[in-house]
């Protein structure tokens, strides 16, 4: 297990199209997170899974965004009817149970979305 | 509502110098204060973290200083090297969540 894997690395899509990203976390980690990051900003929390249960979703997230984590393994993030404002780096992270401050997130390298 | 404020936004340091990045927080319910390092095209990676009942933690050339009464903490990078050039984020943790600072872009000049 070499870390958190995200696919694709880059995605260019036309406004109005749907896109789906995949994240494969570290296999021993039961927590999974999606973040969004724009240039020059810190990561912005989107959603959090404990195993297969989605326990929190940011209030900033519109209903065009949906995430799943079937069977508590990999996760997908779908954006419907993309808008130019959705252009960002989408980061997935995983962590073991326990203090997140101590153990930290392990981030993937992200999927860079460009909406044209 | 920004709960962790980070400064400066960018920093240029000569090779061999000391890089200092500062953060301040507003909520007293945080349990750890980590620092993350991010290189271009990569996700952030945990660098070092400190508990609020400890005033200083050192790992190699990286040191966190923590002032609980002032609600401030800082990252010091000693003998800064060009390979340290990256964006640094301070954060505060509460349960499973991290509250992030806005980041500091550090450039180490050879």
Q: Give the tens place of pLDDT for each residue, A71-82.
A: 889 999 999 999
Least Cα separation, residue A95 to chain B (angstroms): 9
Question: Residue range A60-85: average pLDDT?
Answer: 93
Chain B within 8 Å of A82 (Cβ-Cβ)?
A: no
Question: Residue range A34-43: average pLDDT?
Answer: 90
Q: Which of A4, A35, A104 best probes binding to B when mutated, by most B CB atoms within 10 angstroms?
A: A104
Q: Give the tens place of pLDDT for each residue, B45-98.
A: 999 999 999 999 999 999 999 999 999 999 999 999 999 999 999 999 887 888
Determine whether the interchain pair B103/A99 forms a contact, defined as Cβ–Cβ distance below 8 Å: no
| A72: three-class secondary structure by DSSP | helix
Q: What percentage of chain B reaches a pLDDT higher than 70? A: 98
Average model confidence (pLDDT) across chain A: 92
Residue B23 above 90 pLDDT? Answer: yes
Question: Residue range B32-55: average pLDDT?
Answer: 93
Residue A35 has what pLDDT? Answer: 95
Residue A1 has what pLDDT? Answer: 52
- What pLDDT band is residue B2 in, cutting at 50, 70 and 90? low
- Cβ contacts of residue B102 below 8 Å, gap of 6+? A40, A41, A42, B2, B5, B6, B9, B89
Rounded distance, CA B6 to CA B24, Å?
7
Residue in B with minimal Cα distance to A36: B43
> Which of B46, B49, B89 is closest, CB to CB, to A42?
B89
**Of A113, A115, A110, A116, which Cα lies nearest the Cα of A43?**
A110
Determine whether the interchain pair B95/A102 forms a contact, defined as Cβ–Cβ distance below 8 Å: no
CB B99 within 8 A of CB B4: yes
Residues of B whose CB is below 8 A from A33: 96
């Amino acid at each position: 297990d070499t870390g958190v894997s995200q696919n694709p690395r880059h995605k260019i899509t036309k406004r109005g199209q749907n896109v789906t990203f995949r994240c494969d976390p570290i296999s021993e980690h039961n927590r999974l997170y999606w973040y969004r990051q724009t240039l020059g900003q810190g990561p912005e929390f989107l959603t959090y899974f404990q195993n297969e249960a989605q326990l929190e979703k940011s209030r900033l997230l519109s209903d065009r965004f949906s995430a799943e984590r079937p069977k508590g393994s990999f996760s997908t993030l779908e954006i419907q009817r993309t808008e130019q404002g959705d252009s960002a780096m989408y980061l997935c992270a995983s962590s073991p149970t326990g203090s997140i401050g101590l153990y930290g997130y392990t981030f993937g390298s992200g999927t860079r979305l460009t909406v044209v | 509502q920004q709960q962790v404020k980070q400064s400066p936004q960018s920093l240029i340091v000569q090779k061999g110098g000391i890089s200092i990045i500062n953060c301040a927080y507003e909520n007293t319910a945080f349990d750890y204060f980590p620092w993350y390092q991010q290189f271009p095209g990569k996700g952030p990676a945990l660098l070092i973290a400190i508990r609020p009942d400890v005033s200083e933690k050192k790992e190699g050339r990286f040191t966190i200083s923590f002032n609980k009464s002032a609600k401030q903490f800082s990252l010091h990078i000693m003998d800064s090297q060009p390979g340290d050039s990256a964006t640094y984020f301070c954060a505060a943790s509460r349960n499973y969540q991290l509250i992030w600072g806005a980041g500091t872009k550090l450039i180490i000049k050879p």
